[in-house]
Amino acid sequence: MADERLIAALDVHTMEDVERLVTTLGDSVSYYKVGMELFYSVGAQVVTWLREQGKDVFLDLKLHDIPNTAAGGICSMMRLGATMLNVHASGGYTMMKTAAERMHAEAEKMGIACPKLIAVTVLTSINQEDWEGLGQALQIKSAVVRYAKLAKKAGLDGVVASAQEAALIREVCGEDFLIVTPGIRPAGSDVNDQSRIATPFNALKDGSTHLVIGRPIYASADPKTAALKILEEMEKVK
């Protein structure tokens, strides 16, 4: 049975690949991430199709623009039927607040359930050396917590952050704040291009509410078995 804490990343290129993977995974996965690679290849049809299959959708397009433009983009994405949307926290308090307020107002006007809006803190591919190369003085963990507090103040529902920062975020942002964690690698998996990683068990134990998992599932010779093994590990943390 599916666990809504698992978000399987559809990091593929075509609708054929999407349909094949979703069909293979069946009822083991109920929540999917659609990112830039797929959305820019096939467009809104992938969100529509997934919703028709009864799946939840995290539309991971990481908007970052002036407040009015970001808010307009979020409202356009909301109309597609996505369950969760995101912006970059580095866009600032005003951008996040404007996007959240416009999204809620538009959802109320349309009479639909409002999606969750979360903010990307620091990409999990970035290590401390990369971070310092950007001229950042704070340690990554401190910057992530600052972004999380800012996102909550702006009225967002949560953040995207690595498991390494999850416990700190939970402490300062409370129990109802979403922490969506990519860079999840089951024991024995390849790290690939991620830097700040964790196992499913440790991520949930440290406070993550959702785990975004891509390669360990879709690149497996048996994706459904891979997903079921991840779910078994997740079940150990309630």
What percent of the chain is helix, strand and coil (3-state, nearest 5)?
50, 15, 35
The response to whether 51 counts as a known ligand-binding position is no
The response to whether 206 counts as a known ligand-binding position is no
Of the residues 60, 116, 141, 152, which is catalytic? 60
The one-letter code for the residue type at 33 is: K
The one-letter code for the residue type at 213 is: I
The response to whether 104 counts as a known ligand-binding position is no
The response to whether 23 counts as a known ligand-binding position is no
Instruction: Judge whether 60 counts as a catalytic residue.
Output: yes
Give the angle subtended at the CA of 137 by the CAs of 132 and 142, to the nearest 5°.
100
Distance between CA atoms of 218 and 103, rounded to whole angstroms? 32
Of the residues 65, 205, 224, 229, which is catalytic? 65
At 38, is the secondary structure helix, strand, or coil? helix
The response to whether 68 counts as a known ligand-binding position is yes
The response to whether 185 counts as a known ligand-binding position is yes
The response to whether 11 counts as a known ligand-binding position is yes
The response to whether 62 counts as a known ligand-binding position is yes
Instruction: Judge whether 190 counts as a catalytic residue.
Output: no
Taking residue 79's Cβ as centre, other Cβ atoms within 10 Å add up to 13
The response to whether 94 counts as a known ligand-binding position is no
Of the residues 27, 55, 56, 62, which is catalytic? 62
Q: Please answer whether residues 29 and 227 qualify as being in contact, where contact means their C-beta atoms are separated by less than 8 angstroms.
A: yes
Instruction: Judge whether 62 counts as a catalytic residue.
Output: yes
In angstroms, the Cα distances linking 18 to 28, 38, 59, 210 are: 15, 9, 14, 21
State the binding site. 11, 33, 60-69, 124, 185, 194, 214-215
The catalytic site residues sit at 60, 62, 65
State the binding site for substrate. 11, 33, 60-69, 124, 185, 194, 214-215
